[in-house]
Chains A and B, each alone.
Chain A
């Protein structure tokens, strides 16, 4: 099979524009989100919660350096039935992000808008303008499975799967520009699509995040501390 020869105009008018457009859209996203988002406020109580959890863990781990009376006093302070911080914290009503709170709602809406609108609009536009081009080729052979990923919009059975279509090139750029954004905007940027997606994934699997439901974490620490046997290590 003879090799495909691409028109140099494709490079100038499709390949490079897609890179440049995705890049600048990322930059734009960053600054727009800076405008729209206000920094998440961490409540003082959350900090105290985290500190108490940490302290309970430290007590479990390093309590062996304290004499028994000191250890028990501290355990009592944290776990006592009525007054202990860990016990009290378990009784607190669940807070969490209240989905009905309007300010929270706009916040979530803003986040979603920032992700979805550019995705749809720009993706659609790129698809419409640049559809049907084979833009470039990855320099190594790939199996057929990659065709769906790399040749979106170009359905040719005989085309080698190392070739990349314009729509796919757009997606590759979108997810691949992360390190360049970090270079340009610093590490805390909002330009990156893939990061936003990771955040959403993290939201769904939030069992490890103590912010989500501190009561569970408190209960776990409380139980662990109750179970701890004190043994003076020195």
Chain B
């Protein structure tokens, strides 16, 4: 964590601003949210004005995440008193049921919510989450597919689906899902890196070439991406050892050596204290450079 300040010592206004920031960015810092709420904000929630309800919702979800069901119950109670017929509160209620492993009841509530408001995608997503929590992977895949027929520009769902397919060892379909993510957010290096990983896993000359291209793209978007650097090294190494054309071989070989140099640079910069294994990795890389370079 970047800041080391004691969260319980924040002033009221600072705490409020911090909660607001986290709420808007969608950061998952549940423990801290609960802490801020209990030590600071809960002293006088009424002085938040209308913001109070949004904060209560945030704290409720954080409480569920941090296994503080009692706190979540408090939040739900006060929200329910304020908005007795709100679907949003009902969703929180269902999430609480989820957290206490009453999956069937939670699903029933979500079904009802979806029926009442078919345009709200969050209820459908929660249903998938319930299936995932129950470990019903195939059902979850089916549910996400159903969901993606309507909301097909939701990268979160595509990413989840690709992970599920990977757990089922269906790399080709996982690739398809990640390609969707790339279409929707072409500037996210993670998608490219994962695509590279998958193409590399699939193997074959063409896929390795693709993997290299994807790794390079990922590294271009995010120059600090160590994994992509390794990916470039490995895919180039692979190409160098399998390709038949001599020029291609030489090119891939030098690219691999370059990648090793970059990696070595990165590891030399960090002190052994922060990563005790960096020395071993450095030795490994140097050794690899010799073998790659000799090819």
Chain A residues close to B by CB (< 8 Å): 42, 44, 47-48, 51-52, 54-55, 58-59, 61-63, 65-67, 70, 74, 232, 234
How many inter-chain contacts with C-beta < 8 Å in the A-B complex?
Answer: 46
Contact A51 B217 (CB under 8 A): no
Q: Closest CB of chain B to A66's CB: distance in Å?
A: 5
Q: Closest CB of chain B to A84's CB: distance in Å?
A: 14
Contact B153 A58 (CB under 8 A): yes
- Which residue from chain A places its CB closest to the CB of B199 in the assembled complex? A67
A66-B179, A67-B210, A70-B176 as given contacts; A47 in contact with B216, CB under 8 Å: no
A47-B119, A70-B176, A234-B214 as given contacts; A55 in contact with B182, CB under 8 Å: no
The SS class assigned to the A binding surface is helix
Complex CA distance for A69 and B151, rounded to whole angstroms: 24
Enumerate the 3 nearest inter-chain pairs by beta-carbon distance, A residue then B residue, closest first. A234-B213, A62-B186, A62-B183
Q: Closest CB of chain B to A60's CB: distance in Å?
A: 10
- Which residue from chain B places its CB closest to the CB of A65 in the assembled complex? B182
Residue interface mask B193-222, A partner, CB < 8 A = 1:
000000000000000001001101100000
- Which residue from chain B places its CB closest to the CB of A66 in the assembled complex? B179
Residues of chain A within 8 A of B186, CB atoms compared: 61-62, 65
Contact A51 B182 (CB under 8 A): no
- Which residue from chain B places its CB closest to the CB of A52 in the assembled complex? B152
Contact A62 B182 (CB under 8 A): yes
Residues of chain A within 8 A of B214, CB atoms compared: 234
Residues of chain A within 8 A of B192, CB atoms compared: 65
Residues of chain A within 8 A of B182, CB atoms compared: 62, 65-66
A/B interface sample: 13 pairs, CB < 8 A: A44-B150, A47-B150, A51-B152, A52-B152, A58-B153, A58-B183, A61-B186, A62-B186, A63-B183, A65-B182, A66-B182, A74-B183, A234-B213
Q: Does B118 contact A (CB under 8 A)?
A: yes
A62-B183, A65-B217, A234-B217 as given contacts; A55 in contact with B152, CB under 8 Å: yes
Residues of chain A within 8 A of B213, CB atoms compared: 232, 234
Residues of chain B within 8 A of A55, CB atoms compared: 152-153, 183
How many B residues are at the interface, by size bracket?
Answer: 20 to 34
Residues of chain A within 8 A of B118, CB atoms compared: 44
Residues of chain A within 8 A of B295, CB atoms compared: none
Q: Closest CB of chain B to A42's CB: distance in Å?
A: 6
The SS class assigned to the B binding surface is helix
Chain B residues close to A by CB (< 8 Å): 118-119, 149-153, 175-176, 179, 182-184, 186, 192, 210, 213-214, 216-217
- Which residue from chain B places its CB closest to the CB of A45 in the assembled complex? B150
Contact A51 B153 (CB under 8 A): yes
Contact B119 A42 (CB under 8 A): yes
Q: Closest CB of chain A to B222's CB: distance in Å?
A: 15
Residues of chain A within 8 A of B176, CB atoms compared: 70
- Which residue from chain B places its CB closest to the CB of A48 in the assembled complex? B150
Q: Closest CB of chain A to B236's CB: distance in Å?
A: 15
Complex CA distance for A65 and B189, rounded to whole angstroms: 12
Contact A54 B149 (CB under 8 A): no
Residues of chain A within 8 A of B119, CB atoms compared: 42, 44, 47
Complex CA distance for A74 and B149, rounded to whole angstroms: 14
Residues of chain B within 8 A of A67, CB atoms compared: 210
Q: Closest CB of chain B to A33's CB: distance in Å?
A: 22
Q: Closest CB of chain B to A67's CB: distance in Å?
A: 6
Residue among A65, A74, A232 with the highest chain B CB neighbour number at 10 A:
A65
Complex CA distance for A231 and B186, rounded to whole angstroms: 15
Residues of chain B within 8 A of A234, CB atoms compared: 213-214, 216-217
Residues of chain B within 8 A of A59, CB atoms compared: 183
Contact A66 B150 (CB under 8 A): no
Residues of chain B within 8 A of A63, CB atoms compared: 183
Q: Which of B149, B183, B184, B217 contacts A48 (CB 8 A)?
A: B149
- Which residue from chain B places its CB closest to the CB of A60 in the assembled complex? B183
Q: Closest CB of chain A to B204's CB: distance in Å?
A: 13
Complex CA distance for A47 and B148, rounded to whole angstroms: 12
Residues of chain B within 8 A of A47, CB atoms compared: 119, 150-151
Residue among B149, B151, B153, B175 with the highest chain A CB neighbour number at 10 A:
B153
Complex CA distance for A65 and B150, rounded to whole angstroms: 24
